[in-house]
Structure 1
């Protein structure tokens, strides 16, 4: 199955007003989120539930710090579980290697760029839930991500950063 992903089309659901982009996840990002969901559900939540039960058995809950902290932690876990489940249920999962048009930059592309000083940097264009600047994953919604969309090898883009504008030239595009 070939995919061309164009993440600048408006969403069709109620979240369209808040998020001008569809929610995309790479296959790797979706698997990472699923592993976190399973870990929280099968390991972390049962452990904290047992700790809260043990703390509740100690008596007065109003001054029981372990009970109060445990309940707070359970709420945090439940909130994260709901968030992960909703993201995984509503996201469009993209496998970058299946991209049919490999001459242009689309969601999931790994892009090598050269700056004005000749320094090379490599980034993968990913969804907002997957960003990791130190790992070279930037959001498709970021200024750089948006500037790079649909560019080809040899194209130059100007990106506005907090330290000022920088001109980047696309050196390589890969879909892995």
Structure 2
């Protein structure tokens, strides 16, 4: 049927779903086991939210369902592409994916803790940085005692690796 014969108020709104964390095309979607568990829990939560909707208005319910289904579609794609890295098999004396690091940053006297994780797990407030971030790329393959320089304006920042651990 021609769109000219369809009432405007009968049109379904295409849900605007915020994109997931950026993962450049061609980059493997590495995740920790914790990260994979979080993705699966997110999927379960979205399904429960969709299936237990109490919205009575049919149009509003369809809009909500379409929105959740769109989010689920993005999430399922991310889960399907995830490659869980076994942290117990990472070299204990080198920074690799999943490493928890104690770093001395510049002139700061108190060391900071960070873990290199997947893009969906990254949360700087929790000390988790994405493996594709500039600092994670600089730290990868380094060892305790190594220093790396992150070039920033107006002043470069020096990171010294004090400790490397792999928590499962």
TM-score normalised to structure 1 length: 0.75
Per-residue CA deviations over 1:11-41 (Å, capped at 9, x if unaligned) read: xxxxxxx425211011001001101101211
TM-score normalised to structure 2 length: 0.78
Q: Does 1:152 align with 2:143?
A: yes
Q: Distance in 2 between matches of 1:124 and 1:105?
A: 10
Q: Does 1:27 align with 2:17?
A: no
Question: Structure 1 residue 83: deviation in Å?
Answer: 1.4
Q: Distance in 1 between matches of 2:121 and 2:155?
A: 25
More helix by share: 1
SS of 1:158's partner is: strand
Report what 1:39 is aligned to: 45
Which deviates further from its counterpart, 116-125 or 126-135?
116-125
1:22-171 residue pairs with structure 2 within 5 A? Answer: 22-41=28-47, 43-48=48-53, 51=55, 54-56=56-58, 67-68=59-60, 70-99=61-90, 101-117=91-107, 118-161=109-152, 164-171=155-162
SS of 2:151's partner is: strand
Pairs aligned (count): 143
Stretches of 4+ aligned residues off by more than 3 angstroms: 160-164
Q: Distance in 1 between matches of 2:43 and 2:123?
A: 19
C-alpha contact (below 8 Å) 1:143/1:160 kept by paired residues: no
The CA RMSD measured in Å over matched residues stands at 1.7
Q: Distance in 2 between matches of 1:107 and 1:128?
A: 11
The unaligned stretches of length 5 or more in structure 2 are 1-23
